[in-house]
Amino acid sequence: MLTIYGRATSSNVQLVMWAVAELGLAHERLDYGHVHGGLDTPGYAAMNPHRRVPTLRDGDLVVWESCAILRYLAARYGDGAAFWPADPAARAPVDMWAEWGKTELAQAFTVPIFWARVRTAAKDRDEAALAEAVTRFNGYLARLGDQLSDRPYVCGDTFSAADIAIGHLLFRWFTIDVPRAVNPAVEAYYQRLTTRPAYRDHVMVDYAVLQDPEA
């Protein structure tokens, strides 16, 4: 059985849990981080020297960093087809879009938008910086919309690991109070993701506990 260390309200943990559920893997998730603590213990530091979540234990193997965990799970437990193709040439597009989702897209959203809008008191918020970040993120989503203009999923007709790396951000994007540019392809893609039970169970998680009371 897999053990995932990390709170359900962490977007990075949500990425991993969504993958675990899509792959149908037996697992347990333990609350670590934020109000749950546990990251500063010697035992946790021995598993993850960066003392962040998520961390995965699979038998004697420990993996940290959410996208590294995603790739490990996909390679070890995937079917070798569209989710994480065994052929390196076929896998390259999935890996490229997954990398883009976890680096550029996530970095453009999580701290400059989600943290600024939800986890920061209004009196402490840099509204100009937030507006600039939203404009920039809308630009990133325009690229994603172009990619999705003729296909249901990021890399084609079939759901893949790239959809997890990208799609786990969209629940928060579509549920916070920011000005979103009209983007029919991404909006339809998000609605498509919300029909997946694993997405509803592990990504569409109430984040009210993270919100600053004065945000």
Interatomic CA distance for residues 82 and 143, integer angstroms: 22
Going across the sheet that includes 2-5, the strands are 27-30, 2-5, 55-58, 61-64
In the block, residue with structure tokens 């919309």: 145
Asked if pLDDT for residue 175 goes beyond 90, the answer is yes
Average pLDDT for 53-77: 97
Question: Which pLDDT tens digit goes with each residue over 131-159?
Answer: 999 999 999 999 999 999 999 999 999 99
pLDDT at 109 over 90: yes
Q: What is the pTM of this model?
A: 0.96
Work out the number of other CB atoms within 10 angstroms of the CB of residue 203.
23
pLDDT over 90 at 82, yes or no: no
| pLDDT score of 80 | 83
H, E, C per residue of the chain: CEEEECCCCCHHHHHHHHHHHHCCCCEEEECCCHHHCCCCCHHHHHHCCCCCCCEEEECCEEEECHHHHHHHHHHHHCCCCCCCCCCHHHHHHHHHHHHHHHHHHHHHHHHHHHHHHHCCCHHHCCHHHHHHHHHHHHHHHHHHHHHCCCCCECCECCCCHHHHHHHCCHHHHCCCCCCCCCCHHHHHHHHHHCCCHHHHHHCCCCCHHHCCCCC
Q: What is the mean pLDDT of the chain?
A: 97
Residues in CB range of 105: below 8 A, 6 or more apart: 137, 140, 144, 166, 169
Is residue 70 predicted with pLDDT exceeding 90? yes
What is the rounded distance in angstroms from the CA atom of residue 203 to the CA atom of residue 166? 12
- Domains with residue ranges and CATH for the chain: 2-77 (3.40.30.10), 88-203 (1.20.1050.10)
For the beta carbon of residue 99, count every other beta carbon within 10 angstroms.
15
